[in-house]
Amino acid sequence: MAKYKVEQYAHVIKDNGNGYDNLYLSLKLQNSSGNPTNREYRIVPDTVWPDLQALTNTIIAGLAFAQQTGAWIELSDFEARTYLSLVLPSAGGKENMRVTAVKI
């Protein structure tokens, strides 16, 4: 997985157009070589993370911690299989996550 520093992030929970709420996440990151990159995802509740609010809280807490402390996050998106793997830092250690997501 690629490592990034979090420069900025924004999120909103809104209807995906089919009557279901999804998490829309925008990330402004810096890769390990110091190059900027932007990523946007639509994240969907699934069987592992059925509670959208809990999913959102976990992701945002990890991004906030990384931004405040300068810790690295790791992410890989697998577009063919519609999931996103994340490793997010926290005071208690790292949170490994795999979520259903579409890169937008």
Q: How far apart are CA 41 and CA 82, in angstroms?
A: 10
Q: 31 with 2: CB under 8 angstroms? A: yes
Question: Domain map of the chain by residue range?
Answer: 2-103
Q: Which fold has domain 2-103?
A: OB fold (Dihydrolipoamide Acetyltransferase, E2P) (2.40.50)
pLDDT band at 79 (very low <50, low <70, confident <90, very high): confident
3-state secondary structure (DSSP) of residue 79: helix
**Considering the entire predicted model, what is its pTM?**
0.94
Mean pLDDT, residues 32-59: 96
Look at strands 2-15 and 36-44 and give their pairing: unpaired
Region 47-63 average pLDDT: 97
Rounded to whole angstroms, the Cα distance separating 102 from 77 reads 8
Q: Compute the average pLDDT of residues 55-82.
A: 94
pLDDT at residue 34 tops 80: yes
d(CA 51, CA 22): 11
